Amino acid sequence: MLGAIIGDIAGSTREFEQDKSFPTELFPVGSHITDDTILTLATAEALLRRNESITYGDMYYQYANRYQGSQYSYGDRFLTWVKQSRPNSLAPAYNSLGNGSAMRVAPIGWFFRTLEETRAEARLSAIPTHNHPEGIKGAEAVASAIFLARTGSTKDEIKEYLETEFGYRLSRYYEDVRDDAYFLETCPESVEEAIIAFLSSKSFEDAIYKAIALGGDADTQASIAGAIAEAFYLPQHTLENVRTHLTPEQVPIIEAILI
């Protein structure tokens, strides 16, 4: 989960820049959390409060209302959904295939004991807003990659599973993907690219830098690549690395998931 947040922060200063140069630091001047972190925390709290019948949709609605401001860069359709929703009466899902379903799913990849449970919960987390088949697929694929990485699968095994189960084209060379990449916020393109950034990486940091250097939706792609890379590389980053970017009420949610 920290990998998703660190990736979000690292990519935040380039979110709309389409800059394909390689970064040199995870926490550049001016970096901050965006909607990727906010909604990842919402997913985490939904998991922690499962026994209270709290749904993923409830948490997405609550967090989006709690954390408002242009720095979060919520998608327009998601904000419309939030405005149309009410407590205990959420607006209908809007058939989105955007990468929002994939950017917020990281806690699910860590929470469950089986791949089947992980995929089922990832689907549930997408459905309140991103109920298009591609939106659901993006969430399932990222959660599956995290689960496989944290349970000891090799990159080749992760790649084969994602290609077989989800039809992603992961055999392309990163350099070719980077040459062709541009700003897209949809699952079919940006999730696939972020996974390729991870597969081609040599370290946790390298995965994030490669995702940012795609020149696309930098914070979200770095968040996705960082989430998978954390599970695979188990880097030595701790909550202290990101604490200054968080509010006091956000920290306990992360601590509870990390236990």
- DSSP characters for 16-67? TT---SPP--SS-TT----HHHHHHHHHHHHHHTGGGT--HHHHHHHHHHHS
Question: What value does the mean pLDDT of the chain take?
Answer: 96
Distance CA 68, CA 46 (A): 19
Give the largest CA-CA distance in the chain. 47
**DSSP reduced 3-state for 162:** helix
Alpha-carbon separation of residue 13 from 27, 39, 47, 250 (angstroms): 10, 19, 30, 21
Distance CA 222, CA 236 (A): 18
Q: Which residue segments constitute the domains of the chain, with CATH numbers given?
A: 2-25+33-258 (1.10.4080.10)
pLDDT of residue 17: 86
Give pTM, 2 decimals: 0.97
Question: Does residue 259 carry a pLDDT above 80?
Answer: no
Residue type, 152: G
Q: What percent of the chain has pLDDT over 70?
A: 100
Q: Is 55 exposed, middle or buried (0-12, 13-18, 19+ CB in 10 A)?
A: middle
Alpha helix (H) residue ranges in the chain = 2-11, 35-48, 56-66, 76-84, 100-103, 106-111, 115-126, 133-150, 155-166, 174-180, 192-199, 204-212, 218-233, 251-258
Contact 227, 146 (CB under 8 A): yes
8-39 pLDDT, tens digit each: 999 999 988 889 999 999 999 999 999 999 99
pLDDT of residue 249: 95
Residue type, 133: P
Distance CA 20, CA 28 (A): 16
DSSP string, 240-253: GGTGGGS-TTTHHH
pLDDT of residue 159: 98
Q: What is the mean pLDDT of residues 196-209?
A: 98
Contact 211, 192 (CB under 8 A): no
130-142 pLDDT, tens digit each: 999 999 999 999 9
Distance CA 94, CA 37 (A): 22
pLDDT of residue 246: 96
Q: What is the mean pLDDT of residues 192-215?
A: 98
Alpha-carbon separation of residue 62 from 57, 121, 128, 236 (angstroms): 9, 19, 13, 32
